[in-house]
Amino acid sequence: MIGCFFSIILRSCKKMEYKQFIMKVKDKVEENAGGNYDVNINHVIKNNSLELDGIIISNKESRISPNIYLNDYYEKYKYGESVENIANEILRVYEDRSEENEFDINFIFEEMKSKIIFRIVNYSKNKILLQESPHIRFLDLAITFHGLVKNDYNGIGTIRITNEHMNEWETDVGELMSLAGRNTQRIFPASIKPMNEVIESIMERDIEKYIGGINLSEWNEFTGEDIDSISDDVMMNFLQEIEEKQQIPMYILSNSNGINGASAILYTDILKEFSTSQNSDFYILPSSIHEVILVPYSVQLSKETLREMVLNVNQTQVPEDEVLSNQVYIYRRSTNSIEI
């Protein structure tokens, strides 16, 4: 009983320390930025209910303000980094991101119709987020809708469509799905590659980065939504985990840029074409929100064995906010549909 009491006190103290850190950083950023900027703290619920705190720096000249997450800075603070240094680094990041992300956001429905896309997320892990977002249940997943506001060599920027947007636009989930169904596959066409080809490509990029000193771009958050990129480490770990079990034919399904590419399982014509080429039904292994793995049904591996592999990788290799599902799906040629 006493041990539990002290544990509760310790957790409360840590929470208080974190809140105090956030306010200290906010005040210091506000002081260093000057009077022309507004500085606010934004609590963000990300995919799979991961909660983060971001700092938003805005001025009257800019219509968009990136979220700069504070959680990692708190770890630096605990290891001795000063609030002054952290505040200055945040301001440098803000300046860099502001230059990168100069684009106009006009969230008028008629202008957004050609830019509405869908993504898939785990339903049970996102119930809070889904309460305020139009969505469609799909197996153990949910189809969500997003407005594409940036798509260039610097990356992708999207804004999650909320119930408020839907009501303001006087539209419904059916129309959003119809628009997203046309747009997503057009803007982000599917990519299916053999596993060994993907591994070779990742290894070549790793060597190039090592030799050439290439810096990877880091993307930030816009009004509650990430600009993400696929994690090569996650993909490599997943592929190697499965490859160690048994040499089996496997294919990676994603989209053309590997960002939220698991949504390509909604491209039914692509699944049908792949099934025809393999002359087989196939398993779909959800390795992350960015890609899935296709395994021909003829392979002598049980669904339960595959599910154990997916579960193990999700628990040990995939970042919490990139997990899609612990299930294994089956695509049936006879019905051109996916089932659990």
Q: What tens-digit pLDDT sequence spans the chain (340 residues)? A: 544 443 443 444 455 589 999 999 999 999 998 878 889 999 988 899 888 999 999 886 665 677 899 999 999 999 999 999 999 999 999 888 776 555 556 789 999 999 999 999 999 999 999 999 999 999 999 999 999 988 877 778 889 999 999 999 999 999 999 999 999 999 999 999 998 776 666 555 554 544 444 333 333 444 444 444 445 565 556 555 555 554 678 899 999 989 999 999 999 999 999 999 999 999 999 999 999 999 998 767 889 989 999 999 999 889 999 999 999 999 999 999 999 9
What is the structure's pLDDT at 1?
Answer: 52
Count of domains forming the chain: 3
Structural domain contains residue 95 = yes
Write down which residue in 143, 167, 186 finishes a domain. 186
215 and 182 within one domain? no
Q: SS3 for 218?
A: coil
332 and 192 within one domain? yes
Per-residue tokens: 169: 């636009």
Structural domain contains residue 122 = yes
222 and 248 within one domain? yes
What is the structure's pLDDT at 218?
Answer: 38
Structural domain contains residue 24 = no
303 and 162 within one domain? no
201 and 335 within one domain? yes
What is the structure's pLDDT at 197?
Answer: 76
Write down which residue in 48, 66, 101 finishes a domain. 101
What is the structure's pLDDT at 116?
Answer: 97
Structural domain contains residue 158 = yes
Per-residue tokens: 294: 């296709």
60 and 175 within one domain? no
The b/e string for 135-173 (b: 16+ C-beta within 10 A; e otherwise) is bbeeebbbbbbbbbbbbeeebbbbbbbbeebbeebebee
252 and 228 within one domain? yes
Structural domain contains residue 118 = yes
What is the structure's pLDDT at 66?
Answer: 78
What is the structure's pLDDT at 234?
Answer: 57
Per-residue tokens: 167: 């009501």
Q: SS3 for 32?
A: helix
303 and 216 within one domain? yes
What is the structure's pLDDT at 293?
Answer: 95
198 and 178 within one domain? no
Domain, as residue range, for 218: 188-339
CA-wise closest residue to 223 among 48, 98, 56, 60: 56
218 and 96 within one domain? no
Which residues are CB-neighbours of 181 under 8 A, at least 6 positions away?
A: 118, 266
117 and 170 within one domain? yes
168 and 116 within one domain? yes
What is the structure's pLDDT at 153?
Answer: 74
